[in-house]
Structure 1
């Protein structure tokens, strides 16, 4: 394209620049993932609780209380695990 075409097709140059930048990132990501696979790793997707949700703190406190009560109940076993009568 000649320089005069930039006035007629300005969007082409923005798209081409985005493609070049995107391609560079894609190449780096692909190279990084290949190196990780070569190191014996594999990609997985995991779902974790959303700590920003409105009920997260309350649910965490509830579960902690259950665990604490269970730990306190372990002493009722008469020290079977060797942890109660310290």
Structure 2
């Protein structure tokens, strides 16, 4: 029975729909620190999140910078030293 409770707790903690406080109440823990024992990160999931983050940053950084309204991109490039845009 304890294994079932432990598995349920792990699944609830990993759910994005439940907070750690929700899980604490469901499990009947008096202290949140007791519930935090179930908050174990899956290494594979951590790596996936970091890869998505880095890919998003790379995309965002690669997007061309907008030119200020009313200014010519070539003129700004000359004024700002070539590679500023």
Structure with higher Rg: it is 1
Q: Of the two structures, which has the highest relative contact order with CA contacts closer than 8 Å and spacing of 6 or more?
A: 2
Question: TM-score with structure 2 length normalisation?
Answer: 0.30
Per the normalisation by structure 1, the TM-score is 0.30
